[in-house]
Amino acid sequence: MATTKSKNTQQQDIEDIVEIHSTMEEESPQEEPEKEHIEHKAKGKKEHAPSKKKLAEKLETAEQEKEKAQDSLLRTMAEFDNYKKRVTREKERLIKFGTEKLALELLPVIDNFERALEQAQETQESGAVIEGVEMIFKQLLGVLEKFHIQGFDSVGEQFNPEKHEAMAQQEHDEYEENVIVAEFQRGYMLHDHLLRPARVIVSKGPAESKEEDEEE
């Protein structure tokens, strides 16, 4: 009885082993293609991946381009610095010698003034002296006009703080309030730029009569 049971157990074990083996054989064909797919994918990645040599070449090229860009930037900065220095020197030269031409034009005028003064000391005729001084004055104005320096009239004009400097105010019967009645010093323009304001006296308007003062 015991022997029969042992045989049955062995038979069952053999059947179980056969079943497991069969199951493994059925599953094995499915796992094999998957394994081959993974190996093929890894191989493809390896083939497409850049080699160390190519990476080193690319890195070296990038470094060379970087050095070229830095050199170009340094040269540009040096050139710009030289340009600024050159412009500064030119500006200083223009400021220093910019009035040279004007001075050369004015020297003959000064010479004529000296001659007129010498003549005034030697002669009793004041009319001749005045005429000579007037000629020199016209000559001086002509020199200034060459350099676009021109005076402007102020008497009878409305007071303009951008062109006039008020030295005093006074009542005036002929001029309305805020109108210039006299000029201490003439103003001058350089092109459209104010070179010197005119110093003027400004009207306060007509003087009030004594009768009006009493009525008030």
Q: What integer is the mean pLDDT of 203-209?
A: 79
Residue 104 lies in a domain: no
Residue 179 sits in a domain of what CATH number?
2.30.22.10
On whether residue 64 sits in a domain, the answer given is no
- Residue 203, domain extent: 150-207
When mean pLDDT is compared across 44-48, 115-119, 129-133, 198-202, the lowest value belongs to 44-48
Q: Output the pLDDT for position 14.
A: 63
Residue 154 is assigned to a structural domain of this protein = yes
CA distance 190 to 201: 23
Q: Is residue 106 part of a domain?
A: no
Q: Is residue 181, in this structure, part of any structural domain at all? A: yes
Helix (H) or strand (E) holding 41: helix 2-48
**Stronger pLDDT, 5 or 53, i.e. the higher one:** 53
Contact between residue 119 and residue 129 where contact means Cβ atoms under 8 Å apart:
yes
Residue 195 counted as domain residue: yes
Residue 65 domain flag: no
124 within domain boundaries: no
pLDDT of 179 higher than 90: yes
For the record, the structure tokens of 199 come out as: 């110093």
Number of domains present in the structure of the chain = 1
